[in-house]
Amino acid sequence: MSDPYVFSPPLQPPSPNGINPWRLSVAPMMDWTDRHCRYFHRLLSRHALLYSEMVTTGALIHGDVERHLRLNAEEHPVALQLGGSEPADLAHCAKLGEQWGYDEININCGCPSERVQRGAFGACLMAEPQLVADCVKAMVDAVSVPVTVKHRIGIDKGESYEFVRDFVGQVSEAGAKVFIVHARNAWLKGLSPKENREVPPLRYELVHRLKREFPCLTIAINGGISTGEQIAEQLAQVDGVMVGREAYHNPWALASWDSDFFGAQASALSRESVEAQMVAYMEREAAANGTHWYAIARHMLGLRHGQPGARRWRQVWSDHKLKGLPAAAVMAQAAIKM
């Protein structure tokens, strides 16, 4: 990627005169926010903070580290989200993440899936704030990049503000200064992960209250936020906004983030130029790593969301019958369908 895209130094907590790197971010999403997706999102926004999929400590300790941690230089600023509950393991994996170039290490205390619960991490960790504090302290001692926490406002059907307040207070004393708060409870039983993103009510006011009570911490909010108007409304109350599935399904929205929320000049990007840059990336990946364009194209299928001809364009890029063609030829066919 060439200018004007710039690579950021390691993230630092926001200063009064600097840009807050957590002001806008794209959430970690399993099976979606891999390095190809993050490359695509970086074409659309120079400043948004991008998160990896959650990587478990077991996958790094016992699996293929390069497969899980490889990233493109163009992705910065980029954060690694870890799943685990053993302080020593998390410290080891945080160090690996720093060595591979990630700008931030984030611990997952928000995922409610049963598989994650069986591993004794994710949202169920909120019931053990001292353990989370021990994990954070171990990681803070192991790395020089920020260690952050992503969590819910509560677990199951408890609605006590004091629960999340005490969690944040105790964990912050261990060295975490940035908390990304999904403004829903996590119901550990009876709901699927999808239902956990929809059924528990959003209670933004609890996250706003956290910011008022902990003014020296960076508090970012997540959950149900999709439009620019909603982002601006939340930024009046907290330090940052994390956007999840809307960023994946309607990625062109990211193209206005830099000018709307980071004070940059309006982007001169077009959907066509982004598609062409992605084809160049596909060709580079095929030559360097043997990656088929089909594995990359799935992440950009929302590029023309809401545009005339978008459905036909998506059909071309997702047509398995065209997998034998080079990416440039598929782009040419997709253009004909527009």
Query: Strand, coil or helix: what is 196?
Result: helix
Give the mean model confidence (pLDDT) for residues 226-247.
97
Residue 15 — pLDDT band, cuts 50, 70, 90?
Answer: very low
Under 8 Å between Cβ of 297 and 286: no
**pLDDT value of position 43:** 97
- Cα–Cα distance measured from residue 316 to residue 337, given in angstroms and rounded to the nearest whole number: 8
What fold characterizes domain 271-337?
Four Helix Bundle (Hemerythrin (Met), subunit A) (1.20.120)
Under 8 Å between Cβ of 284 and 266: no
DSSP 33-65: -SHHHHHHHHHH-SSSEEEEEEEEHHHHHHS-H
User: Which class in CATH covers the domain with range 24-261?
Assistant: alpha beta
- Cα–Cα distance measured from residue 197 to residue 244, given in angstroms and rounded to the nearest whole number: 10
Residues above pLDDT 70, as percent of the chain:
92
Q: Which residues are catalytic?
A: 111
Give the mean model confidence (pLDDT) for residues 275-291.
97
**pLDDT value of position 237:** 97
- Cα–Cα distance measured from residue 44 to residue 312, given in angstroms and rounded to the nearest whole number: 22
Q: Which of 328, 336, 337 has its CA nearest to residue 278?
A: 328
In sequence order, which residues have a C-beta less than 8 Å from that of residue 96 and are 6 or more positions away?
Answer: 60, 65, 69
Q: Which two tokens stand for residue 149?
A: 């926490």
Parse the chain into domains and list their residue ranges.
24-261, 271-337
Least confident segment among 49-58, 120-129, 220-229: 120-129
- Cα–Cα distance measured from residue 171 to residue 137, given in angstroms and rounded to the nearest whole number: 9
Largest CA distance in the chain: 59
How long is the chain? 338
Q: Which of 336, 334, 337, 338 has its CA nearest to residue 279?
A: 334
Under 8 Å between Cβ of 145 and 104: yes
Under 8 Å between Cβ of 181 and 211: no
Is the predicted pLDDT of residue 113 greater than 90, yes or no? no
